A and B are shown apart, each in its own frame.
Chain A
Amino acid sequence: MKFPIYLDYHATTPVDPEVLQTMIPYFTEIFGNAASRNHEFGWTAEAAVEKARQQIAHFIGAHEKEIIFTSGATESNNLALMGVAEMYQEKGKHIITSPIEHKSILDTCHFLEKKGFSITYLKVDSYGQVSPESVRNAMTPQTILVSIMAANNEIGTINSIGEIGKVCKERSVLFHTDAVQAVGKIPLNVESMGVDLLSLTAHKIYGPKGIAALYVRRRNPRVRLTPLIYGGGHERGMRSGTLNVPGIVGMGKAVELAQKEMSEEVPRIQRLRDRLWEKIQENLDEVYLNGHPTDRLPNNLNVSFAYVEGESLMMGMKELAVSSGSACTSASLEPSYVLKHIGVGEDLAHTSIRFGLGRFTTQEEIDFAAEKVVCIVKKLRELSPLYEMVKEGVDLKTVSWAAH
């Protein structure tokens, strides 16, 4: 086993060696600008870009002309929201989203609020799901866009995208989904799910960083976007800028591999994830799963280890690269807003750890991780005044804490 063990696949993934091999020639030999229409160099680069575009489109049931390349999912999300807002503002200035979206959605929404748009942040349930009914109820004649993530990056909860898509179709409101975490983990089809815009990125699926895409529906309805970046009119005028050919080729290959591997990889990772959770539950009391028990990403496990603070937990298991919803691990000193919105108390939010499994995770690593976590939680509970008090029969809710 190699240490530390990487269990943070929601944050990013290593580039698959096969992806890297495919990319390499595009840095040196096939270096042309895909927009050079007058020579061999440009044509070869363009052909490679178009192949990748087809691979990506095919993967989500789209047409290749509907794929716009961007620099990252943050840009894709920004472009979807700002592009629609700017283009359709005459029609209305109301957007519906959820409070547990990625910051690249939420921050863009806050910006749009300052620009005079009104944003509805739908309540999510205790698993982090948005009900299609609440989307319908929030719609007004001014609603121009609904943006709901396919799967949450912290707790792994999967939304009923198809159902929400149906509601949006009924009302002819555009529907965007941030599918960054869902791609390669659950089947996605923009037609059957009624999605008009979809963000996806390469580095979460064993492709390179710095390249992502936005699916933009071309028919029924034709979605138009005001660009964020102006210039040479690349990407149907929606995103100017010289194309990142090696990145695009890598993303295409990553998608191809994801598609090929999914049917084997997903059950394998899910088995390992379940194994980890079982081992934790067998050996520790007062551990709580955050997120949905079944409608969740196969590679995600988010657990609160009551009475043990997340950062101290991570410090005790340096052999594991995981992340925590604890305040101490964030620059803002605020615990996870996702956990807050699904009703996890701040006391438990501080004790949460996110395990993200991936393509290269082995059973040996999971067994080691489980043992390590159990051992360190037990050690820190020996150190925890809260655990001691609970064992003495004290109800922590009745204690008057001196907040600081």
Chain B
Amino acid sequence: MAYTTKVIDHYENPRNVGSLDKTSASVGTGLVGAPECGDVMKLQVEIDEKTHLIKDAKFKTFGCGSAIASSSLATEWLKGKTIEQALAIKNTDIVQELSLPPIKIHCSVLAEDAIKAAISDYLKKSKEIKTA
């Protein structure tokens, strides 16, 4: 399969690889996909308590080059965004930016799911703190 230069760039120089402290109240973690399906993404966001902006985002991905590129791109886009803006990121935006072929669209869907999962984990945590 021929990849676009953007996919290759993200694959060769993935942005924001790593892990944030998943026990921290300001960190939301999303883990989506399954090893049996050939792709698993872990995406984390750290929210600034004062500005409510995403101040950091990290990922680790098991999957093909397009899956790695989709999650790498997602972390790049997330930084500095509000929660609402983050939730507005659509898989089609990723498809367009990386020029993913139809057979790789599921990679972008997974990245969108990972964003939503990370944010919802953060929101769940902050709600628990408020009610506690």
Contacts and interface: CB of A to CB of B under 8 A. Distances in A.
Contacts of A308: 62
Contacts of A307: 62
Contacts of B42: 385, 388
A189 B127 CA distance: 74
Interface string B1-42: 101000010010010010100000000000111111111111
Contacts of B34: 401-404
Contacts of A257: none
Interface in A318-337: 326-329, 333, 335
Interface stretch (A175-183, A247-255, A344-352): A344-352
Q: How large is the interface on A (under 10, 10 to 19, 20 to 34, 35 or more residues)?
A: 20 to 34
A385 B61 contact: yes
B9 to A, nearest CB: 12
A402 B65 contact: no
Contact of A384 (B31, B60, B103, B113): B60
Contacts of B33: 401-402, 404
A386 interface: yes
A327 B38 contact: yes
B106 interface: yes
A113 interface: no
Given A347-B35, A386-B35, A312 B109 contact: no
A401 B36 CA distance: 9
A309 interface: yes
B63 to A, nearest CB: 5
B88 interface: no
B64 A328 contact: yes
Contact of A383 (B8, B36, B68): B68
Contacts of A403: 34, 36-37
B11 to A, nearest CB: 6
Contacts of A328: 38, 63-64
Nearest to B107: A328
B17 A312 contact: no
Contacts of B39: 309
A311 B37 CA distance: 13
Interface string B33-73: 11111111110000000000000000011111101100000
Contact of A312 (B63, B103, B110, B113): B63
B108 to A, nearest CB: 12
Contacts of A312: 11, 63-65, 67-68
Contact of A386 (B32, B62, B64, B103): B62
B8 to A, nearest CB: 8
B35 A401 contact: yes
Contact of A382 (B17, B65, B103, B110): B17
Contacts of A347: 35-36
A202 to B, nearest CB: 29
B38 A384 contact: no
A266 B92 CA distance: 52
Interface string A365-404: 0000000000000000011111110000000100001111
Interface string B91-120: 000000000000100100110010000000
Contacts of A382: 17
Contacts of A346: 35-38
B32 A402 contact: yes
Interface string A46-65: 00000000000000000000
Given A402-B33, A404-B110, A335 B60 contact: no
A307 B60 CA distance: 12
A396 B38 contact: no
Contacts of B31: 385
Nearest to A327: B38
Contact of A350 (B8, B32, B38, B106): B38
Contact of A396 (B35, B41, B63, B103): B35
A404 B35 contact: no
A391 to B, nearest CB: 11
Contacts of B103: 333
Contacts of B14: 383
19 contacts: A312-B65, A315-B11, A315-B64, A333-B103, A346-B35, A347-B36, A350-B35, A383-B17, A383-B61, A383-B62, A384-B60, A384-B62, A386-B40, A401-B35, A401-B36, A401-B40, A402-B34, A403-B37, A404-B34
The 9 lowest CB-CB distance pairs between A and B, nearest first, are A401-B34, A347-B35, A385-B42, A350-B38, A385-B60, A311-B64, A346-B36, A328-B64, A315-B65
